[in-house]
Protein backbone atom coordinates (compact mmCIF):
# COMPACT_ATOMS: atom_id res chain seq x y z
CA UNK A 1 0.00 0.00 0.00
CA UNK A 2 1.37 3.44 -0.90
CA UNK A 3 2.13 5.99 1.78
CA UNK A 4 -0.82 8.14 0.63
CA UNK A 5 -3.15 5.14 0.81
CA UNK A 6 -1.98 4.10 4.26
CA UNK A 7 -2.36 7.64 5.61
CA UNK A 8 -5.93 7.79 4.27
CA UNK A 9 -7.06 4.84 6.43
CA UNK A 10 -6.66 6.35 9.87
CA UNK A 11 -6.80 4.40 13.14
CA UNK A 12 -10.19 6.02 13.79
CA UNK A 13 -11.50 4.71 10.45
CA UNK A 14 -9.83 1.30 10.87
CA UNK A 15 -11.59 0.95 14.26
CA UNK A 16 -14.91 0.66 12.37
CA UNK A 17 -13.91 -2.75 10.96
CA UNK A 18 -15.95 -5.32 12.88
CA UNK A 19 -18.56 -2.80 14.03
CA UNK A 20 -22.00 -4.43 13.89
CA UNK A 21 -25.50 -3.02 14.05
CA UNK A 22 -28.04 -4.37 16.48
CA UNK A 23 -30.58 -6.79 15.01
CA UNK A 24 -33.33 -4.62 13.48
CA UNK A 25 -36.83 -5.79 12.54
CA UNK A 26 -37.85 -5.30 8.91
CA UNK A 27 -41.16 -4.31 7.39
CA UNK A 28 -43.28 -7.33 6.55
CA UNK A 29 -43.96 -7.93 2.86
CA UNK A 30 -47.66 -8.28 2.13
CA UNK A 31 -49.76 -9.94 -0.56
CA UNK A 32 -50.24 -6.54 -2.20
CA UNK A 33 -46.43 -6.04 -2.31
CA UNK A 34 -46.12 -9.34 -4.17
CA UNK A 35 -48.92 -8.33 -6.53
CA UNK A 36 -47.15 -5.03 -7.30
CA UNK A 37 -43.92 -6.95 -7.91
CA UNK A 38 -45.71 -9.32 -10.32
CA UNK A 39 -47.41 -6.41 -12.10
CA UNK A 40 -44.11 -4.54 -12.48
CA UNK A 41 -41.99 -7.50 -13.60
CA UNK A 42 -44.43 -9.89 -15.24
CA UNK A 43 -42.90 -12.63 -13.05
CA UNK A 44 -46.07 -14.53 -12.12
CA UNK A 45 -44.32 -17.57 -10.64
CA UNK A 46 -46.96 -19.69 -8.87
CA UNK A 47 -44.46 -20.32 -6.03
CA UNK A 48 -45.24 -16.83 -4.71
CA UNK A 49 -48.83 -16.64 -5.86
CA UNK A 50 -50.43 -19.98 -4.95
CA UNK A 51 -50.19 -21.90 -1.66
CA UNK A 52 -51.59 -25.06 -3.29
CA UNK A 53 -48.95 -25.05 -6.02
CA UNK A 54 -46.12 -24.43 -3.52
CA UNK A 55 -47.34 -27.39 -1.42
CA UNK A 56 -47.53 -29.58 -4.54
CA UNK A 57 -43.78 -29.10 -5.10
CA UNK A 58 -42.72 -29.62 -1.48
CA UNK A 59 -42.98 -26.25 0.26
CA UNK A 60 -45.32 -25.65 3.22
CA UNK A 61 -46.88 -22.60 1.48
CA UNK A 62 -46.06 -19.89 -1.01
CA UNK A 63 -42.98 -17.78 -0.46
CA UNK A 64 -41.66 -14.36 -1.37
CA UNK A 65 -39.82 -13.61 -4.59
CA UNK A 66 -36.15 -13.67 -3.49
CA UNK A 67 -35.47 -10.27 -5.03
CA UNK A 68 -38.03 -8.70 -2.67
CA UNK A 69 -36.24 -10.20 0.32
CA UNK A 70 -32.97 -8.81 -1.03
CA UNK A 71 -34.28 -5.27 -1.24
CA UNK A 72 -36.09 -5.03 2.10
CA UNK A 73 -32.97 -3.99 4.08
CA UNK A 74 -32.26 -1.20 1.62
CA UNK A 75 -35.57 0.39 2.59
CA UNK A 76 -34.25 1.10 6.08
CA UNK A 77 -33.51 4.79 6.27
CA UNK A 78 -32.47 6.82 9.26
CA UNK A 79 -32.20 10.52 8.59
CA UNK A 80 -31.07 11.16 12.20
CA UNK A 81 -27.95 9.02 11.73
CA UNK A 82 -28.66 7.19 14.97
CA UNK A 83 -25.80 4.67 15.32
CA UNK A 84 -28.26 2.10 16.63
CA UNK A 85 -30.34 2.08 13.43
CA UNK A 86 -28.44 3.81 10.62
CA UNK A 87 -26.45 2.15 7.84
CA UNK A 88 -22.93 2.02 9.30
CA UNK A 89 -21.37 3.12 6.02
CA UNK A 90 -23.12 6.49 6.36
CA UNK A 91 -21.50 7.11 9.74
CA UNK A 92 -17.85 6.43 8.82
CA UNK A 93 -15.36 9.19 9.75
CA UNK A 94 -14.20 9.80 6.17
CA UNK A 95 -12.08 12.74 5.02
CA UNK A 96 -14.40 15.70 4.31
CA UNK A 97 -13.84 15.76 0.56
CA UNK A 98 -14.56 12.00 0.14
CA UNK A 99 -18.20 12.28 -0.91
CA UNK A 100 -18.25 10.67 -4.38
CA UNK A 101 -19.76 7.23 -3.59
CA UNK A 102 -19.89 4.41 -6.16
CA UNK A 103 -20.95 0.79 -6.16
CA UNK A 104 -17.84 -1.41 -6.30
CA UNK A 105 -19.60 -4.77 -6.27
CA UNK A 106 -22.16 -6.87 -4.49
CA UNK A 107 -22.70 -10.58 -3.91
CA UNK A 108 -25.98 -11.95 -2.60
CA UNK A 109 -26.78 -15.47 -1.41
CA UNK A 110 -30.37 -16.54 -0.87
CA UNK A 111 -30.11 -19.39 1.62
CA UNK A 112 -33.72 -20.24 2.54
CA UNK A 113 -37.18 -19.35 1.27
CA UNK A 114 -39.04 -16.63 3.15
CA UNK A 115 -42.74 -17.37 3.51
CA UNK A 116 -45.48 -14.80 3.23
CA UNK A 117 -46.15 -13.31 6.68
CA UNK A 118 -42.79 -14.36 8.13
CA UNK A 119 -41.08 -11.85 10.43
CA UNK A 120 -37.58 -10.84 9.37
CA UNK A 121 -34.71 -8.89 10.90
CA UNK A 122 -31.40 -7.62 9.57
CA UNK A 123 -27.94 -7.02 10.93
CA UNK A 124 -24.84 -5.69 9.19
CA UNK A 125 -21.14 -5.47 9.90
CA UNK A 126 -18.26 -3.51 8.36
CA UNK A 127 -15.80 -6.25 7.35
CA UNK A 128 -13.06 -4.34 5.53
CA UNK A 129 -11.83 -0.82 4.76
CA UNK A 130 -8.92 -0.33 2.38
CA UNK A 131 -7.48 2.41 0.18
CA UNK A 132 -6.54 1.70 -3.43
CA UNK A 133 -5.36 3.73 -6.37
CA UNK A 134 -7.61 3.41 -9.39
CA UNK A 135 -8.35 5.14 -12.69
CA UNK A 136 -10.20 7.93 -10.87
CA UNK A 137 -7.61 8.37 -8.15
CA UNK A 138 -7.16 7.21 -4.60
CA UNK A 139 -10.35 5.65 -3.25
CA UNK A 140 -11.55 4.24 0.04
CA UNK A 141 -13.24 0.85 -0.39
CA UNK A 142 -15.65 -0.18 2.36
CA UNK A 143 -17.07 -3.71 2.47
CA UNK A 144 -20.13 -4.46 4.55
CA UNK A 145 -21.77 -7.83 5.13
CA UNK A 146 -25.47 -7.93 5.82
CA UNK A 147 -27.66 -10.80 6.95
CA UNK A 148 -31.42 -11.18 6.92
CA UNK A 149 -32.73 -13.62 9.53
CA UNK A 150 -36.13 -15.23 9.90
CA UNK A 151 -38.05 -15.60 13.16
CA UNK A 152 -36.08 -18.79 13.95
CA UNK A 153 -32.82 -16.78 13.74
CA UNK A 154 -31.88 -18.65 10.56
CA UNK A 155 -29.99 -16.67 7.93
CA UNK A 156 -32.19 -16.48 4.83
CA UNK A 157 -30.06 -14.00 2.89
CA UNK A 158 -26.45 -12.86 3.07
CA UNK A 159 -25.13 -9.91 1.09
CA UNK A 160 -21.58 -8.61 0.82
CA UNK A 161 -21.44 -5.13 -0.68
CA UNK A 162 -18.46 -2.91 -1.40
CA UNK A 163 -18.68 0.79 -2.03
CA UNK A 164 -15.87 2.96 -3.33
CA UNK A 165 -15.60 6.54 -2.11
CA UNK A 166 -13.51 9.10 -3.97
CA UNK A 167 -12.80 12.79 -3.43
CA UNK A 168 -15.44 15.01 -4.98
CA UNK A 169 -14.11 16.66 -8.11
CA UNK A 170 -15.38 19.92 -9.51
CA UNK A 171 -15.92 20.27 -13.21
CA UNK A 172 -13.43 22.73 -14.57
CA UNK A 173 -14.83 25.82 -16.19
CA UNK A 174 -13.83 26.32 -19.81
If one compares 13 and 3, the residue with the highest pLDDT of the two is 13
Sort 101 into a burial class: Cβ within 10 Å, 0-12 / 13-18 / 19+: middle
Does residue 69 form part of some domain? no
pLDDT tens per residue, range 94-106: 998 999 999 999 9
For range 112-120, the mean pLDDT = 92
pLDDT at position 55 is 97
Does residue 98 form part of some domain? yes
Whether the predicted pLDDT of 129 surpasses 90: yes
Does residue 122 form part of some domain? yes
Domain of residue 111, CATH code: 3.10.129
Does residue 35 form part of some domain? no
Averaged pLDDT of the chain? 87
If one compares 112 and 78, the residue with the highest pLDDT of the two is 112
Domain count for the chain, please give it: 1
pLDDT at position 132 is 93
Does residue 40 form part of some domain? no
Does residue 110 form part of some domain? yes
Nearest to 49 by CA among 36, 62, 59: 62
> Beta partners for 149?
121, 155
Whether the predicted pLDDT of 130 surpasses 90: yes
Does residue 132 form part of some domain? yes
Does residue 59 form part of some domain? no
If one compares 87 and 38, the residue with the highest pLDDT of the two is 38
> Beta partners for 158?
109, 147
pLDDT tens per residue, range 17-71: 999 999 989 888 889 999 999 999 999 999 999 999 999 999 999 999 998 887 7
Whether the predicted pLDDT of 73 surpasses 60: no
Which residue segment(s) compose the domain that 19 sits in?
Answer: 3-27+80-167
- Cβ atoms < 10 Å from Cβ of 143: 19
pLDDT at position 110 is 93
Amino acid sequence: MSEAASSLITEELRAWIGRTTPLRPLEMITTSDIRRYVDATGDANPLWLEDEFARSVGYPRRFLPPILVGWIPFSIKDQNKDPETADLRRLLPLPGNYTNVRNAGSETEWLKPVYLGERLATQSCIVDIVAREGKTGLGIYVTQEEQVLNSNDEIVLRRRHTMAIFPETKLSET
